[in-house]
Amino acid sequence: MFSGIVEALGTVAELRMEPPGCRIIIREAKIAAETKVADSICVNGCCLTVVEQNGDTFGFQAGPETLARTNLGELQPGNRVNLERALTVGGRFGGHFVSGHIDGTGTLVERIDQGDWSTFWFSVQRSLAVQMASKGSIAVDGVSLTIVDSRKDRFSVALIPYTLTVTTLGPLTVGGKVNLETDILAKYVQRLFEAHNWGL
């Protein structure tokens, strides 16, 4: 379980093909020093298991399902990624509950910059839009954000200068793809409505 509060920006050091998947090697010295094999780390919002740790790098294996359903399949050496280690029992909790299980991707269709502040509009599949509501929570590339406006095929978020500086969202340009995880409560509410049609 994660909070959507990004701890650090890592850099993709290497991509190794391991058909049908690949190994993603990330460089980030501080997290690497405190990480061991089998730890869970959220990479751009996607929960991955550490399979190797070497100096200032650590690596993950990503299967074809993960590569196809997230933006991890588009990573290239040198790309930056958002990193967050799993929550610890008794620790402080900000953001919102994030599982690290990506529901789908969105595409940045409009970016409105006002000085150091920005409003982003993302296009989204309708199957995900039904799980979104104004003032609800959304994880965008692992970043816990509050939805400003939610429509049937897109939603907006307002980003403060700090978030734009310390996450991968700052450099994002129109056309960029992001990983999305809707609020877990919305999934259960939707499921309850669906269950009414089961004739139980």
Confidence band, pLDDT 50/70/90 cuts, at residue 136: very high
Among the listed residues 158, 82, 146, the one whose alpha carbon sits nearest the alpha carbon of residue 120? 158
User: pLDDT tens, 22-32?
Assistant: 999 999 999 99
Distance CA 36, CA 40 (A): 9
Residues paired with residue 110 on neighbouring β-strands, in sequence order: 121
The answer to whether residue 93 is domain-embedded is no
Averaged over 69-78, what is the pLDDT? 96
pLDDT at 200: 59
Q: Which of 16, 50, 85 is the last residue of a domain?
A: 85
Shared domain for 111 and 180, answered yes or no, is: yes
Domain range for 145 is: 104-195
Shared domain for 72 and 108, answered yes or no, is: no
pLDDT at 45 over 90: yes
Shared domain for 189 and 147, answered yes or no, is: yes
The answer to whether residue 40 is domain-embedded is yes
Confidence band, pLDDT 50/70/90 cuts, at residue 109: very high
Confidence band, pLDDT 50/70/90 cuts, at residue 94: confident
CATH number for position 22? 2.40.30.20
**58 neighbors 48 (Cβ within 8 angstroms):** no
User: What's the domain count of the chain?
Assistant: 2
Distance CA 49, CA 172 (A): 26
pLDDT at 71: 97
